[in-house]
Structure 1
Amino acid sequence: MKILIVEDEVKAADYLRKGLTEEGYSVEVAHNGVDGLHMASVNNYDLLILDGQLPGIDGLAMLGAIRQSSDVPILMVTARARVEDRVKGLQSGADDYLTKPYAFSELVARVQVLLRRRMGGRQVTEESVYRVADLEVDPIRRKVVRSGQRIDLTTKEFGLLALLMRRKGEVLSRTEIAEQVWDMNFDSDTNVVEVAIRRLRVKIDQPFERALIHTVRGMGYVIEDRPA
């Protein structure tokens, strides 16, 4: 699932990006309304998290512009807590409204609800589930199944697996994995990625006949179904 955050406060945006990435989502960030509107118009996102007060283009104006051509779910996150502000945001096209300060767990719950609502209560579609061979990852329900067997993962493990599955067949470097999953500048002396891959393999590969997570020497890691 791909999410766009439009938030002018850099620390707040980084906090959200890091947290949602750890939850297994693919996240992009814009720090003003102009960039946010452009990104929303040229990319396909599953959900937008939009601050109500933005430089360049105000959040409500951006909301109105997006609603002219898209029904993408939009969660407004703003310090404007008055009832009339919430009503105005919802009437302008927001699907939900969350006031600052908020608990991150509540934001995640609202994101999950909006994504499920976008599914219209139907069965999860083929496009919304990542598949490689007999491995299935449902990023909305946060469910991992291989050969019909449910696999329980930690938050970090799920984020790592979701990243690999989104980019299946593509070799990801340790640097990119560290930046995407741990939101950290990669240090060649750290083995955090190797340790995480090893733990993931214990759950995803070892109990089954065929390995899906592969090491590409000198380059990184890839998940794909290779011939035996």
Structure 2
Amino acid sequence: MHPILIIDDDAELGEMLTEYLAPEGFAATIATRGDSGAELALNGGYTAIILDVMLPGINGFAVLKKIRSQSMVPVIMLTAKGDDIDRILGLEIGADDYLPKPFNPRELVARLRAVLRRMAEPGQEDDSDLIECRELQLWPGARRALLQQQPLDLTSTEFSVLEILAKNAGKVVSKEMLYEGALGRTLSAYDRSLDMHISHLRRKLSEVDDQMVIHTVRGTGYQLEK
């Protein structure tokens, strides 16, 4: 069973999800306040966190900031349907994915499995799977990234996006390929989550090496400069 944490003040929803997720292999703990949820998230050893935006105590964005200050555990945010600002802000702070309410529990299971696949138990660094692009080095098995010998702190989704771009350095990678390979779902209209992950990667790469550039190829996808 995968231990997960659901931080949502809707106790009825939490109970329903707990019952639904158990047969799918997830053991859920429920927190109904932001402050207590943040404490559990940082001390509970969970493999993934489901985080609502609107919470008593402190809101979901503040909880996410606390989590990201100490942990890269996968976080899926629950947002109001059609609220682009919440989705964008959550991704900017470091959420791995989002799911608008109301949602089908089967979709939540699919999102959880996707982030857990990306965060499969890291192995030892093995140069046989080393991916290199100039001063960038990636070890997919260990989920470790170095740029100019400096470690990069990446979320699971950011690592997966960068891995695909690095494997295809110098080539244009379509958005469809990145959505399916890194986010585990198909591209849909008005979904800007990939754009936000690319934005985070650009910032993190440029802080170490401003020559490590990800180009936007309008209407097609992205290209990591070789």
Question: Could you state the TM-score of these two structures normalised by the residue count of structure 2?
Answer: 0.52
Q: Could you tell me how far apart the structure 1 residues matched to 2:8 and 2:85 are?
A: 22
Note the C-alpha offset of 1:81. Answer: 2.8
The letter of the residue matching 2:56 is: P
Note the C-alpha offset of 1:15. Answer: 1.0
Partner residue, 2:52 = 51
Q: Could you tell me how far apart the structure 1 residues matched to 2:13 and 2:3 are?
A: 19
Partner residue, 2:36 = 35
Q: Could you tell me how far apart the structure 2 residues matched to 1:38 and 1:82 are?
A: 27
Partner residue, 1:13 = 14
Q: Could you tell me how far apart the structure 2 residues matched to 1:91 and 1:51 are?
A: 16
Aligned length: 123
Partner residue, 1:68 = 69
Q: What are the within-5 Å matches in structure 2 for residues 1-228 of structure 1? A: 1-79=2-80, 81-119=82-120, 122=141
RMSD: 1.6
Q: Which runs of 4+ in 1 moved over 3 A?
A: 120-123
Q: Could you tell me how far apart the structure 2 residues matched to 1:52 and 1:19 are?
A: 22
Q: Could you tell me how far apart the structure 2 residues matched to 1:72 and 1:37 are?
A: 12
For the Cα contact (< 8 Å) 2:79–2:87, is it kept in 1? no
Superposed CA offset, 1:170-222 (max 9, x none): xxxxxxxxxxxxxxxxxxxxxxxxxxxxxxxxxxxxxxxxxxxxxxxxxxxxx
Q: Which has the higher contact order (CA 8 A, sep 6+)?
A: 1
What fraction of aligned residue pairs are identical, expressed as a percent? 41
The letter of the residue matching 2:47 is: D
The letter of the residue matching 2:68 is: R
The letter of the residue matching 2:88 is: V
Partner residue, 1:226 = none
For the Cα contact (< 8 Å) 1:37–1:66, is it kept in 2? yes
Question: Could you state the TM-score of these two structures normalised by the residue count of structure 1?
Answer: 0.51
Superposed CA offset, 1:92-130 (max 9, x none): 11100100011111110000000001127649xxxxxxx
The letter of the residue matching 1:7 is: D
For the Cα contact (< 8 Å) 1:6–1:30, is it kept in 2? yes
Superposed CA offset, 1:111-162 (max 9, x none): 0000001127649xxxxxxxxxxxxxxxxxxxxxxxxxxxxxxxxxxxxxxx
The letter of the residue matching 1:118 is: M
